[in-house]
Structure 1
Amino acid sequence: MAVSSYMTDAIKIDVWSDIACPWCYIGKRNLETGLAEVAGDADAPRVEVTYHSYELSPDTPVDFEGDQTEYLVQHKGISREQALEMAARVTDVARDAGLDYHFDNLKHTNTVKAHELVHFAKEKGLQGSMKERLLSAHFVEGRHVGRIDDLVELAVEIGLDADEAREALISEKYVEAVRADEEQARAYGINGVPFFVIDGKYGISGAQPPAAFSQIARQVWAEHQGEPAAV
Structure 2
Amino acid sequence: MSLQIDVWSDVVCPWCFIGKRRMETALSRFEHADEVEIRWHSFQLDPAHAKGHRVPVQEMLATKFGAPPAQVDAMQRQVTELAAAEGLTYHLDRAISVNTLDAHRLGHLAAEHGLGDQMHERLLKAHLADGELVDDLDTLVRLGAEVGVPADEARDVLQGSKYAAEVQADIDQAKRLGITGVPFFVLNGTHGVSGAQSAETFLSALEQAR
If the TM-score is normalised by the length of the shorter chain, which range does it land in? over 0.9
Q: What residue is the counterpart of 2:28 in the other structure?
A: 36
Name the SS for the 2:63 alignment partner.
Answer: helix
1:50 corresponds to which letter in structure 2?
A: R
Normalized against structure 1, the TM-score is what? 0.87
Superposition pairs of residues 135-214 of structure 1, within 5 angstroms: 135-214=124-203
2:117 is aligned with 1:128: yes
1:35 corresponds to which letter in structure 2?
A: L
Distance across 1 between alignment mates of 2:209 and 2:150? 37
Q: CA deviation at 1:75?
A: 2.3
For structure 1, the residue ranges without an aligned partner over 5 or more in a row are 1-7, 222-231
2:93 corresponds to which letter in structure 1?
A: D
Name the SS for the 1:50 alignment partner.
Answer: strand
Q: CA deviation at 1:67?
A: 2.5
Q: CA deviation at 1:81?
A: 2.2
Q: What residue is the counterpart of 2:73 in the other structure?
A: 84
Distance across 2 between alignment mates of 1:165 and 1:120? 7
Q: What residue is the counterpart of 1:220 in the other structure?
A: 209
Does structure 1 conserve the Cα–Cα contact (< 8 Å) formed by 2:103 and 2:140?
yes
| CA deviation map 1:26-66 (0-9, x unaligned) | 0011101110111xx3x556111101010011222455454
Q: Which entry has the higher C-alpha Rg, 1 or 2?
A: 1
Q: What percent identity do the matched residue pairs reach?
A: 43
| CA deviation map 1:176-215 (0-9, x unaligned) | 0000000000000111111111111111110001111111
Q: CA deviation at 1:161?
A: 0.8
Aligned Cα root-mean-square deviation (Å)? 1.4
Q: What residue is the counterpart of 1:3 in the other structure?
A: none
Q: CA deviation at 1:168?
A: 1.0
Moved over 6 A (4+): none
Does structure 1 conserve the Cα–Cα contact (< 8 Å) formed by 2:190 and 2:209?
no
Q: CA deviation at 1:14?
A: 0.5
Change in CA separation of 1:65 and 1:179 when aligned onto 2, cut-off 3 Å: closer
Q: What residue is the counterpart of 2:19 in the other structure?
A: 27
Normalized against structure 2, the TM-score is what? 0.95
| CA deviation map 1:90-123 (0-9, x unaligned) | 0011011110000121122111100000001011
Distance across 1 between alignment mates of 2:175 and 2:97? 24
Does structure 2 conserve the Cα–Cα contact (< 8 Å) formed by 1:26 and 1:97?
yes
